Amino acid sequence: MTCLAPGGSPPEKEEPMSWTLDGPGGAAVMRAADAEAMSTGQVSARLLLDSSATHEAASVVRVALSEGADGAVPHRHDKSSELFYVLSGSVQLLAGEEVLTAGEGDLAVVPPGLPHAFAAPPGSGGELLIIITPGVERFEYFRHLGRLVAGQETLESLLAVQERYDTYFLPSEPWQKTRSRPAAG
């Protein structure tokens, strides 16, 4: 990440990654090659900018879903809105009680308190840019999810940190109905 103060210019040579901003009002720039990458098999993420890097303005993650992959289960944020911009493919989105399919170039913004989830529809993959604003420190949340998938953490450990990450899991009948797959015959 490169940080620029107002009126500043980029450094003459590349600096190592740093999560420290160049004073109040400075800009945070993340180069694609420097973003932390993680994958759980069918879902991969590039952690672009966390809340601490943007003066709590936003947290930004790029997520790729393989064909039919589940992304995030139904949840809500009490303090932040979440923006979903479909970069490629298509993505199923839960917003409240509605499930819709968004395609490349589509944008959805979910306000605080509204249940939401996302996944790739059967037969399609998708890539999303996800922005949470105001920002909440999310990178450790994604690392926690990675440890959960790897069997290094328990579901209970994730439930114990819901308040820290402003992510509260909840049931959703419309989502469950949409995402249920018929048993193989």
Spell out, as residue ranges, where the chain has pLDDT lower than 70. 1-25, 181-185
The Cβ of residue 27 has, within 10 Å, a number of other Cβ atoms equal to 15
Joined tokens for residue 49? 């900018």
Closest C-alpha to 20, from 48, 51, 56, 52: 52
CA atoms within 13 A of residue 5's CA, in its CB half-sphere: 4
Q: What is the 3-state secondary structure (H, E, C) of the chain?
A: CEEECCCCCCCCCCCCCCCCCCCCCCEEECCHHHCEEEECCCEEEEEEECHHHCCCCCEEEEEEECCCCEEEEEEECCCCEEEEEEEEEEEEEEECCEEEEEECCCEEEECCCCCEEEECCCCCCEEEEEEEECCCCCHHHHHHHHHHHCCCCCHHHHHCCCCCCCCEECCCHHHHHHHCCCCCC
Q: Which two tokens stand for residue 82?
A: 């979440």
Domain boundaries, the chain: 1-34, 36-179
Closest by CA to 73, choosing from 181, 172, 6, is 172
**Longest distance between any two alpha carbons in the chain, whole Å:** 64
Tell me, what's the pLDDT at 25? Answer: 63
* Reported CATH class of domain 36-179: mainly beta
Q: Which tokens belong to 87?
A: 């970069």
State residue 55's pLDDT score. Answer: 86
